[in-house]
A and B are shown apart, each in its own frame.
Chain A
Amino acid sequence: MTLAEGILAGDQRAIARLITIVENRPREAIPALQALYPHTGKALVVGITGPPGSGKSTLVGRLTKRLRQLGKTVGIIAVDPTSPFTGGAILGDRIRMQDLATDPGVYIRSMGTRGSLGGLAKATHNVIKILDAAGKDYIFVETVGVGQSEVDIVKTADTTLVVLVPGLGDDIQTIKAGILEIADIFVVNKADRQDAGRVVAELEMMLDLSSKEVEWRPPVYSTVATSGKGIDAVVEGIEQHIHYLCQNSKLEARRRERYRAEIMNIVKEGIITQLLDFWSVGGKLETLLAEVAAREKDPYAAAWEIMQTFTGNGKGGS
């Protein structure tokens, strides 16, 4: 049985192995990803972002439990930061999802960012496809905390949840600037703490003041992820958002943008790899750099010279 066949049959080891290949040797994974592609597109991808420690993992665990009660299967991708100095990482999100580890309807995978800066790992998109092909109805993607790093998730998810908590102090001001654009749903977690009501009120006010013309006004839910309070409403909110996207063929439009970005990335990487492969042979690139350094050529002229040699069989890159 090939890896792709194993994955379509729901074999956990096959899923696990292909994810590893996608992370470590992406080019090698291409045939399997190609075989799986016709079986993708059915899963709903839900992104979860928010400040470190706001309860994202605990929430994902709870939301998953609720979806399991409703008979849905779930994939979870939990991303934690890789140390830029050592390349190592502690992937600790599963601590909050312990009891899901033995549920055959749930597949959880932890990933280090491995140098990627947008809050996700580079391989995340392909891991989503693998879990999608494996038949998961919902796929949660937990990003590393909000910073400048929440950008990737909107380009990846069908629905984006932004998690906030009381007591962020001034942080919330800086966070706020970016979140209005990315949130489809707000969750104010740790509602057992003081001031949660104020965060909800502040968010509602921001949404009222937002001059953007909105067809979808992000709902604001408050939850206590540790006890499960408010979780059912969030699941309903996710379903409503998906319903809204489907009704207005917005889901197609969002996904089409994703396909565009993905194809463009493959093209860019392919072209660059091919050109650089060609120019690295026999020190051609070094010679060109020397000419630029000596002011005999400018960087534009050098780049054009490189681009002119493009022969274009298109099979480079990953």
Chain B
Amino acid sequence: MKERPIRVLIAKPGLDGHDRGAKVLARALRDAGMEVIYTGLRQTPEQIVGTGIQEDVDVIGLSILSGAHTHLFPRVMELLRERGANDILVIGGGIIPEDDIPALKKEGIAEIFTPGTTTQAVIDYIKENVRQG
């Protein structure tokens, strides 16, 4: 039987209008055989979590270049826990200072990818870490 496609939500939380990275990533994941739900700019954490649950995604990828990650990333994690959906793998990327990363990981963000990461690194990471079944 054919392998099922991995489903990924690529979301841009907050008011940040930088969507180039998110789009590049969405296309790269599609080309790697994944089903990518792309929801566009200016999503609230509530919308992201609602979408992630309805779409039954394996991965939520958050992209922020505005600096609001310290507030928005933990909020997404909190909502996922509230709704019993913290089995979804959450990763993030964008302009995120090294110093902020340990705290975000403590909140449950599995990995952070900053500028210069290749899309292949992200693809490999997802394939290795996504839940099975």
Given A13-B85, A90-B38, A95-B39, are A102 and B50 neighbors across the interface (CB < 8 Å)?
A: yes
Q: A89 on the interface (CB 8 Å rule)? A: yes
Determine the residue in chain B with the shortest Cβ distance to A94. Answer: B39
Q: A101 on the interface (CB 8 Å rule)? A: yes
CB distance from B79 to the nearest CB of A (A): 10
Structural contact, B55 and A88, CB atoms closer than 8 A: no
Q: Report chain A residues within 8 Å CB of B76.
A: none
Q: A235 on the interface (CB 8 Å rule)? A: no
Structural contact, A13 and B5, CB atoms closer than 8 A: no
Structural contact, B56 and A16, CB atoms closer than 8 A: yes
Cα-based distance from A15 to B54 in the complex (angstroms): 8
Cα-based distance from A99 to B36 in the complex (angstroms): 19
Q: B51 on the interface (CB 8 Å rule)? A: yes
Structural contact, A102 and B85, CB atoms closer than 8 A: no
Q: Is the interface of B mostly helix, strand, loop or mixed?
A: mixed
Question: Per-residue CB proximity of A1-30 to B under 8 Å, as 1/0?
Answer: 000000000001101110110011100000
Contact check: which of B36, B42, B56, B85 meets A90 at CB < 8 Å?
A: B36
Cα-based distance from A88 to B26 in the complex (angstroms): 10
Q: B4 on the interface (CB 8 Å rule)? A: yes
Q: Report chain A residues within 8 Å CB of B122.
A: none
Which residues, 20 to 60 on B, are CB-close (under 8 Å) to A? 26-27, 29-40, 42-44, 46-48, 50-51, 53-56
Structural contact, B30 and A13, CB atoms closer than 8 A: no
Q: A138 on the interface (CB 8 Å rule)? A: no
CB distance from B107 to the nearest CB of A (A): 22
CB distance from B36 to the nearest CB of A (A): 5
Q: A248 on the interface (CB 8 Å rule)? A: no
Q: Report chain A residues within 8 Å CB of B50.
A: 101-102
Determine the residue in chain A with the shortest Cβ distance to B28. Answer: A88
Structural contact, A86 and B37, CB atoms closer than 8 A: no
Determine the residue in chain B with the shortest Cβ distance to A99. Answer: B47
Q: Report chain A residues within 8 Å CB of B54.
A: 12, 15-16, 101, 107-109
Structural contact, B26 and A90, CB atoms closer than 8 A: yes
Question: Per-residue CB proximity of A82-116 to B under 8 Å, as 1/0?
Answer: 11001111111011001101100001111010100
Structural contact, B26 and A98, CB atoms closer than 8 A: no
Given A88-B30, A88-B31, are A98 and B43 neighbors across the interface (CB < 8 Å)?
A: yes
Contact check: which of A12, A24, A101 meets B4 at CB < 8 Å?
A: A24
Q: B116 on the interface (CB 8 Å rule)? A: no
Structural contact, B51 and A101, CB atoms closer than 8 A: yes
Cα-based distance from A309 to B39 in the complex (angstroms): 52
CB distance from A114 to the nearest CB of B (A): 8
CB distance from B53 to the nearest CB of A (A): 6
Q: Report chain B residues within 8 Å CB of A20.
A: 7, 56
CB distance from B20 to the nearest CB of A (A): 15
CB distance from A100 to the nearest CB of B (A): 9
Structural contact, B38 and A88, CB atoms closer than 8 A: no
Q: Report chain A residues within 8 Å CB of B39.
A: 94-95, 98, 101
Question: Per-residue CB proximity of B51-94 to A under 8 Å, as 1/0?
Answer: 10111100000000000000000000000000111000000000
Q: Report chain B residues within 8 Å CB of A108.
A: 51, 54-55
CB distance from B112 to the nearest CB of A (A): 23
CB distance from B31 to the nearest CB of A (A): 5
Structural contact, B33 and A88, CB atoms closer than 8 A: yes
Cα-based distance from A84 to B79 in the complex (angstroms): 36
**What are 15 A-to-B residue pairs whose CB atoms are below 8 Å?**
A15-B54, A16-B53, A86-B31, A87-B2, A88-B5, A88-B30, A88-B36, A89-B5, A90-B30, A91-B37, A92-B37, A98-B47, A101-B39, A101-B48, A109-B54
Known: A90-B38, A91-B35, A98-B40. 5 other contacts (CB 8 A): A12-B53, A16-B56, A89-B30, A94-B40, A95-B38
The 5 A-B residue pairs with the shortest CB-CB distance in the complex, in nearest-first order: A95-B40, A88-B30, A16-B56, A101-B47, A24-B4
